Structure 1
């Protein structure tokens, strides 16, 4: 895989840049206590102090250090997005494999349900579910998970429909392998590349959706550090020239989404060349 990335030119460069961004933010999330100079929920200076040697990203409207909140905010968004993605995968992938392999009435029923969910705009559906469940980290993860289950289902089902007609599947049936063994021992390993691509692109989209929910007040509650929540709190001061409470969380949202997006696009391009 590393050899393929090195020889992939621009696509390989995208993967490398994406990995650098994702690993850096993950490191920041894991070691937040050691990186942040201040408690992210405690006022440590004056209101909206500009960036300085003491507060490198300034302070927010109640005197909390913006840099510390950005650092701890990485933990919040990574936890929510990765938890929601894991739930989406645990439901969408097995259902996609089962639907594509079994076919018939079960396939039609599952496809109808998933298509119905997929027809809703993702952000609107997430807002509706989050408003019903109420704010909170776990409720937000559930809201995002419901939105992205059909994505995994549709991609996996499409691949399984093609793979189930391959000779290696026919050979497994000929030697008497059970359906469950065929699905998860013979078919599933051939889905890993497409799952990796969908995962990367899904996380990139989920980051923006989570930030949107936080901006609308439907995700975390105060004083939890979160990039979207801090963006909302800072936007009222932006037109007064107080840009730092908005710019730094906003840049981090874009950067992290870009990192996962680069990963997904690079993997997709490399995988597409291999299939050709």
Structure 2
């Protein structure tokens, strides 16, 4: 227990030492708090739907409407805030589903080896031969445009990266003495994989997942922008930019504020991922 406590304290020390990582960590917490409490903090809850108030359409940013209003008179600030919940929830579920698929497959391929390893990795290579966004577009086109289908398409596009990452870790890990000792006493392959291999390969997976969050949010926004993701009246950032471009540059606030939200969120996760990588890197810890 003591080494784990010491390692945790060292992680917090390195987090505080890296100012960019520290700031991105706090911004991430704020983003998730906004996502959780979005229905309670938005000033116009009814504007999340298709409710129209034509008399207030295209109002410029003001004290009443911080980010202005859209073509239906809906408060853009309320929709951007609620869009935080939509984007983060979809991104977390997409990455989580990709982890559920990719991590066990990578651990099995690296630990068992042989023909099973060949089959898993050849399937993985097929998926990796396509750009993730292109593959997601193709899958959503087949499944039909919706946020749930976009989430599934992104997860299926992303799992091979985790499979390849964990496979490499598992190949190295299965040569460790504690894994060989577990096999010597008769521990089954299945139990060895899920009790010893996967828990000890979690550090690089966490780094990769934290960095992928930004890319997944961008992909979700891209699919919605193309009309393949979220559908109206869902307040999704990419969809808002897609609608707002029809009125740009006169109604500039319609696209600018959702775009800034995407920029801040993606930058936050990218900086946080870089910081976590440095914190979990043994070379950095020993300096």
Q: TM-score range by the shorter chain?
A: over 0.9
CA offsets, 1:209-248, max 9 Å, x none?
Answer: 00000100100111111000001111122233x2111111
Structure 1 residue runs of 5 or longer lacking an equivalent are: none
Secondary structure of 2:205's aligned partner: helix
Structure 2 residue aligned with 1:36: 42
**Would you say 1:249 and 2:258 are equivalent positions?**
yes
Unaligned runs of 5+ in 2: 1-6
CA distance in 1, matches of 2:179, 2:8: 29
| Contact 2:15–2:279, Cα closer than 8 Å, also in 1 | no
1:17 has 2:27 as partner: no
Out of 153, 157, 160, the residue aligned to residue 167 of structure 2 is 157
- Structure 2 counterpart of 1:178, from 159, 183, 188: 188
Map of 1:52 onto structure 2: 62
Equivalent-residue separation in structure 2 for 1:153 and 1:138 (angstroms):
23
1:198 deviation in Å? 1.3
Contact between 1:207 and 1:257, CA under 8 Å: does it hold in 2? yes
Cα-to-partner distance string for 1:186-217 (whole Å, 9 max, x where unaligned): 22221121111111011111000000001001
- Deviation of the 1:9 alpha carbon: 6.9
Map of 2:123 onto structure 1: 113
Q: How much does 1:43 deviate?
A: 3.2
Alignment match, 1:98 = 108
Q: Which residue of 2 aligns with 1:264?
A: 273
How many residue pairs get aligned? The number is 275
Return the TM-score normalized by structure 1. 0.94
Which of 86, 99, 107 is the aligned partner of 2:96?
A: 86
Q: Deviations over 1:55-75 (max 9, x none)?
A: 011011221100010011111
Q: Measure, in 1, the Cα distance between the counterparts of 2:8 and 2:176.
A: 28
TM-score by length of 2: 0.90
With 105-114 and 79-88 compared, the bigger mean Cα shift is at 79-88
CA contact (8 A) 1:57 1:244 kept: yes
Return structure 1 stretches of 4+ with deviation > 6 angstroms. none
